[in-house]
Amino acid sequence: MNRTPSSTEQSPIPSVFTRRRFLSLSALTTAALVTGCGGGTTVGGSEEGVGGFEGTYDGPAVTLDYWNGFTGGDGPAMDALVKRFNADQKNITVKQNTIEWGDFYTRLPAAAGAGQGPDVGAMHLDQIATQAATKIIVPVDDVASALGLTEDDFAASVWQPGIYQDKRYGIPLDVHCLAMYYNKDHFEKAGIDSPPTDAASLEEACQKLQQAGGVEFPFWMPNQWPAHLMFLSLLWQFGGEPYGGDGTEATFGSEEGVKALTWMKEQVDKGFSPANVDIDAQYTAFKNGQNSITWDGIWQINDLEESGMNWGIAPLPTIGEQLASWANSHNFFLTSQAAQDTNSANAAKVFIGWMSQQSAAWSDAGMIPALNEARESPEYENSPQAALGEQVDNLHFLPAVPGLGTVQAETLELAVNAAILGQKPVEEALSEAQSNATELMQKNAEKFGG
């Protein structure tokens, strides 16, 4: 199942062996970081990055370890880019290592601690703060300034969450959000001309699909992945914010949150969705033609193209008051390991700079280029995801708060699950989760030193 991007995904927990290895490695983490700071080749200390990068590299030949998690339909597109980079460069060779995102965030700290980690990599925007706070990655402000990149060059609101404690740690490659997929054959049979755009037209479409289309349950409401992403999108549509207080307070239990989750639950109560949708069933059923509409990430585009079904893609309908969708972004990062050596660090920065300019070609991966100019390229304009149009200007990213992903998994995601399954009333589930989340966030703030 291709439910790739986002670190907030339930990560498969590694085997006992890995855990033990992990424990012994943790002792090494401290040592490695300490030596890193005192290293002779370091300019400005590994925690601060190397600095002074001018945009080119002409030192001795280096080989860079490059890690990412593009295991799905986005893998071949990344392979092609790496091949092109290696062909372009005289003295930099990039060795790619692709690990499932679920394992990526467990393996990265362990490997980095043991000095076996990558020099450079791509990770999710919502992980940047966590990895920066734990000093696995270092600032890349000089890459942005050498390339002349500013906030205005990028899709709305993707730039700020890459900043942690006034320093930039990530250079965005793409943005990815939720979309509404629909079964064109079902729509035609039910006499629906265009995809629904708001709550009323969605409800009307569901009724038509049930009556004329003969689909018993047209819109299955998941209670696990990606239910929390749907909830966040709706919360933002109603004008709410999930977190506040500079990362020390959860606010998703607000009135807007209650409206969002209530609407999701209503799809079950109105009979548009079965009551108990198991993990991934809504997407499998969509591909089987057992339902007609499903909300999922745009990373499913390549999978749907391969499935051979007659599908369409449209922006999420505006259920609340404004257009909005949850979004995440793949960002390039530099590790503190690479920062110990000026040559590796500068070579890695050349790679990051080169890659960030390939946004347009990255459309093949089913993603939306982060660079504004790349979204005017034919590669993007001819891609299925271009149908999202204005939604791309209304994306919302989680704030840069260390440890937020795991807090969310233990609170918000559980509340969404319990409420949609009817285990708890919407308000009760959200307010309980909200107060737990606030407590965990305050603990984290203390642990990571704000």
Could you tell me which of 312, 348, 333, 369 has the C-alpha nearest to residue 74? 369
Alpha-carbon span 198 to 370, nearest angstrom: 27
Report the nearest approach of another protein to the CB of residue 72 (Å): 18
Place of tokens 């439910």: 3
**CA 355 vs CA 85, 300, 317, 399: distances in Å:** 8, 23, 33, 24
Cβ closest to another protein, residue 208 vs residue 287: 287
Could you tell me which of 128, 147, 148 has the C-alpha nearest to residue 138? 128
Site string for another protein, 257-276 (x = CB under 8 A): -----------------xxx
Cβ closest to another protein, residue 135 vs residue 386: 135
Cβ closest to another protein, residue 363 vs residue 408: 408
Pick the binder of another protein from 424, 427, 428, 431 (CB under 8 A).
424
Give the HSE-up count for residue 18: Cα atoms under 13 Å, Cβ half-sphere.
11
Residues 284-323, interacting with another protein (CB under 8 A): 284-285, 288, 290
Altogether, the residues listed in the chain come to a count of 450
Pick the binder of another protein from 4, 42, 46, 134 (CB under 8 A).
134
Pick the binder of another protein from 269, 278, 306, 376 (CB under 8 A).
278
Pick the binder of another protein from 281, 309, 386, 387 (CB under 8 A).
281
CB 328 within 8 A of CB 349: no
Cβ closest to another protein, residue 136 vs residue 365: 136
CB 338 within 8 A of CB 65: no
Contacts with another protein by CB under 8 A: the residue count is 52
The interface region with another protein, picked from 74-82, 248-256, 318-326, 412-420 by CB under 8 A, is 412-420
Pick the binder of another protein from 5, 25, 78, 154 (CB under 8 A).
25
CB 239 within 8 A of CB 324: no
Pick the binder of another protein from 398, 414, 426, 445 (CB under 8 A).
414
Alpha-carbon span 188 to 186, nearest angstrom: 5
Pick the binder of another protein from 175, 277, 304, 327 (CB under 8 A).
277
Pick the binder of another protein from 214, 306, 410, 450 (CB under 8 A).
410
Report the nearest approach of another protein to the CB of residue 358 (Å): 31
Q: What is the 3-state secondary structure (H, E, C) of 142-181?
A: HHHHHCCCCHHHECCCCCHHHEECCEECCEECEEEEEEEE
DSSP per-residue string spanning 119-140: SEEEEEGGGHHHHHHTTSEE--
Place of tokens 């370091």: 42
Residues 88-107, interacting with another protein (CB under 8 A): 106
Interacting residues with another protein (CB under 8 A): 10-11, 13-14, 19-20, 22-23, 25-26, 29-30, 33-34, 106, 109-110, 113, 134-136, 217, 220, 223-224, 274-279, 281, 284-285, 288, 290, 403, 406, 409-410, 414, 417-418, 421, 423-424, 436, 439-440, 443, 447-448
